[in-house]
A and B are shown apart, each in its own frame.
Chain A
Amino acid sequence: MAVDERVKDALRLENLSVPPELPVISISVEDYVDWTGDDALRVSVLLSEDFDEFKDTGEAAIKFNMSILDSLIEHGIELHPYVWFMKPSDLLPEPKPKRRNARRAA
């Protein structure tokens, strides 16, 4: 099902307050159902590869998450936005695990 236009509008980057220390490249959203069966939104936030998660304090992400929530409320959306952060390298396919004790083909 297509995401509500109001949701898309609410989550346009220009409608959100992006803290300067959080290098957001793009944001995407899809309809979602959580573990309790409630309708919700799944929001994926792509960060620049330069973002150092080891030095991150979490403060910027909290501000950004609240900005997402507030923008949805302002647009009349009551759904909870579940937010996932990722970097381009996180989207690469998993390498296949090496087989242990693999017998050499005859």
Chain B
Amino acid sequence: MHDALLEQARRLATLDTRRPKQVNLRRAVSAAYYSLFHFLVDQSCRAIIGAQHQQAAYRHVLGRAFAHGTMKKACESFERGRLQAKVSKGLPATFTVPAEVRSLARAFIDLQQKRHLADYDLTERFTRSDVLRATQEVERVITSFRRLAVSNEKRFFLACLWAWSELERR
């Protein structure tokens, strides 16, 4: 799903040979954001449920529970590289946020805002430079995250995308 959305974003951003139409840039931003969103939801569900083919139905049902705002809040902490005390309480003293997670979290927050503007704010003007850069950034952060070896820190980040609101409240 996320690969197709990213490809769609690229095609829309480069569709017009000369001055790009705002409508194409806006849909490109939206597609790029949803590419990253669905990638993260899928990765998170794989970490929680499991990655086997016969577990797909469970992953897809759980995937409906992810909320954009909750994921943003989690990413805000992870992008800074340190979690607030009430969340990190009890984690090993050696806990650190991998650089790949930080840059992915940053890109997610950035693109979520731009997606909101693209879909709802007609006063915002999008530029091809920024939209193409955003699609490249999504591709890069996904690739880096995939290459990052499985670790407790990586799995914890993915679980936090789902559980952040509850963790923050306790």
Interface residues of A (CB under 8 A from B): 34-36, 40, 47, 51, 53-54, 56-59, 61-62, 65-66, 69, 73, 78, 80, 82-87, 90, 94-95
Cβ of B76 under 8 Å from chain A: yes
Q: How far is the CA of A11 from the CA of B127 in the complex (A)?
A: 22
Report whether B110 and A51 are in contact in the complex, using a CB–CB cutoff of 8 Å. no
* Contacts from B to A (Cβ < 8 Å): 14, 19, 69, 72, 76, 79-81, 99, 102-103, 106-107, 109-110, 112-114, 116-117, 125, 127-130, 132-133, 135-137, 139-141
* Chain A minimum-CB-distance residue to B117: A35
Bound complex: CA of A56 vs CA of B138, how far in Å?
Answer: 13
Given A73-B81, A80-B76; 7 other pairs, CB 8 A cutoff: A34-B113, A40-B113, A54-B132, A58-B135, A62-B103, A62-B140, A80-B109
15 contacts between A and B (CB under 8 A): A35-B113, A36-B69, A36-B72, A53-B133, A54-B14, A56-B136, A58-B135, A59-B140, A61-B136, A62-B140, A65-B103, A69-B79, A82-B110, A85-B127, A87-B129
Residues of A within 8 A of B69 (CB): 36
Residues of B within 8 A of A58 (CB): 133, 135-137, 139-140
Closest to A35 in B: B116
Partner of A78, one of B80, B135, B136: B80
CA distance A62 to B137 in the complex (A): 7
Q: Which residue of A lies closest to B14 (CB)?
A: A54
Q: Name the residue on A nearest B135 (C-beta).
A: A58
Q: Which of A59, A80, A86 contacts B127 (CB 8 A)?
A: A86
A84–B130 Cα distance when bound, in Å, is: 6
The residue on B at minimum CB distance from A22 is B133
Q: Tell me which residues across on chain A come within 8 A of B129, comparing CB atoms.
A: 47, 51, 53, 85-87, 90
Residues of A within 8 A of B128 (CB): 53, 90
Question: In the complex the two chains form, is A69's CB within 8 Å of B116's CB?
Answer: no
User: In the complex the two chains form, is A66's CB within 8 Å of B102's CB?
Assistant: yes
